[in-house]
Structure 1
């Protein structure tokens, strides 16, 4: 598996070279969920020797381009790149989704991007892949057009959980309800929040439950506001730790800014300026306003007890 994945933005103005010829998986891959993983596995298995195993993705997200509204992501670029590396991808190629790209016909996209620039030798796409002006090209169209250039195209069928297709939209819906258990099933792993620990107001410390305030990428999709049991990883933690995370605006103290903070159950130390990752395992309760800080303190103690029991079961099962 490839852990270090290069990221090339086209047109390339970076010091990172574009490695060609390529074997390419096409799509947005937001979430890198089980369906995306099948597309990538198919690509890795089909890649000829000497080809750089690559993913083409788009920035901004096409929906952002057409709607003009910022789209929060399940996996911002750095997180997505790290995940793709775990599945054998060596290179992420980011195409600027702009008017010029949006106006390319399906044939022009194949000729100019896939053949001329990327020297593609094999492709893998999901069954519902659309490309070219107005998404007029289908996955079958891609196969037909690429055949003229001797490029095989593997079309991966939908990945389903029961009768329901796994999709980024389904994961977003689950997270909006706080259903991180369902999100885990669809993703194939726990939903994670990765960021740098920054200085907070230290209210948790005054209450006897010190927390690490985690600064997340601004385009990261947050689950339902509330309290979660989580596993916590980081280079300086000396192994995986168990924690209780709060995501939201902390209504008891009349805070307005959305924060993500975590209390580690059995660890003490200084995490300032360190990157940590929260792996959300269970939703404990929604955010709520308490009549006093003493009541909030009692509830945090109860949350920690419940989280410890749940997380011990998760760790034992794993």
Structure 2
């Protein structure tokens, strides 16, 4: 998949899915599906996801927005779907002041040469979000696909909307099952292993400290059962992960540490892809290292029992 920042490099004409697509969740994939190569009848069209950098909300608030899928993760997820090119429009003052009509003419028609479009039902564009799907339909007609609101029926009697916002809420509560269902895949943390204080080794539970992108949205502080993919291992490895400040040892900064079951070897500088499987408990402060060690043993057993049920 080609990632395009320079509009002169775009392969045209295009079939586009238009949106922010943070997380590339179930709803996003339904928006993207109609423009994938296998769905297109015209081989001359290039399947293209058109998104914005930075996120429009980040531009207007001037505050960094935490993302379910930072740039590298989004690229990897779209590539897996079979998207041919990702066009990132620079969301700046010039783009923000374009009217809906100007956005259609300058971006969609002149720059992208759009032939087919797929969007979500609530997609808006142009200055003050004045443009909507009706404006797109007036030009593209039946070449526009509008995906209706996507919901999912889970344990709750009321269906829940599939949205990035609801995924964030679920992660903040430690509701991993719900977040994973809305994503259609396990929520994951991808980062390199860096040097830590190596306290885990002293109590018999060595951990790998992850260096994550600063924009990555972290779930609730606490302990999780996880499945870890490492390039040096032919199969996933189970383990437990702690996210938090480590109050028992007077930690002063949030860290993400993974303890792997049945693993020996040096992990420094290796990239770990950690899938969240189950929330075990919130972070807490213990009276001693012995008490902490006893709780970690219990956490590991809880995780192993859960993985045994899944097997």
TM-score (ref. length: structure 2): 0.95
For residues 253 and 182 of structure 2, the distance between their equivalents in structure 1, rounded to whole angstroms, comes to 30
After superposition, residues 295-306 of structure 1 pair within 5 angstroms as 295-306=291-302
Structure 2 unaligned blocks of 5 or more: 154-158
Matched with 2:23 is 31
Aligned-partner Cα distance in 1 for 2:198–2:190: 20
1:157 Cα offset (Å): 0.9
Q: Which deviates the most, 115-124 or 190-199?
A: 115-124
Alignment partners' CA distance in 2, 1:118 and 1:303: 52
Runs of at least 4 residues of structure 1 off by over 3 A? none
CA displacement, residues 191-216 of structure 1 (integer Å, 9 cap, x when unaligned): 00000111111111111111111100
Q: Could you tell me which residue of structure 2 aligns to residue 168 of structure 1?
A: 164
TM-score by length of 1: 0.93
Written as runs of structure 1 = structure 2, the 5 A alignment for 1:42-191 is 42-44=34-36, 45-46=39-40, 48-147=42-141, 152-162=143-153, 163-191=159-187
Map Cα deviations across residues 53-109 of structure 1 (whole Å, 9 max, x no partner): 110111111111111221100000110111111212111111111111011111111
Q: Is the 8 A contact 1:10 1:96 kept in 2?
A: no
Secondary structure at the counterpart of residue 285 of structure 1 = strand
Shift in alpha-carbon separation, 1:47–1:260, aligned structure 2, 3 A: farther
How far apart, CA to CA, are the structure 1 residues paired with 2:48 and 2:229?
28
Query: Residue deviations 1:166-190, cap 9 Å, x none?
Result: 1000000000000011001100011
Distance in 2, Cα, partners of 1:43 & 1:158:
18
Aligned residues: 304
Q: Match for residue 188 of structure 2?
A: 192
Q: After superposition, where does 1:12-27 map in structure 2 within 5 Å?
A: 17-27=9-19
CA drift of 1:111 comes to 1.2
Whether 1:280 and 2:276 are equivalent positions in the alignment is yes
The answer to whether the 8 A contact 2:116-2:140 is kept is no
Consecutive unaligned residues in structure 1, runs of 5 or more: none
* Secondary structure in 2 matching 1:220: coil
Are positions 1:206 and 2:206 aligned together? no
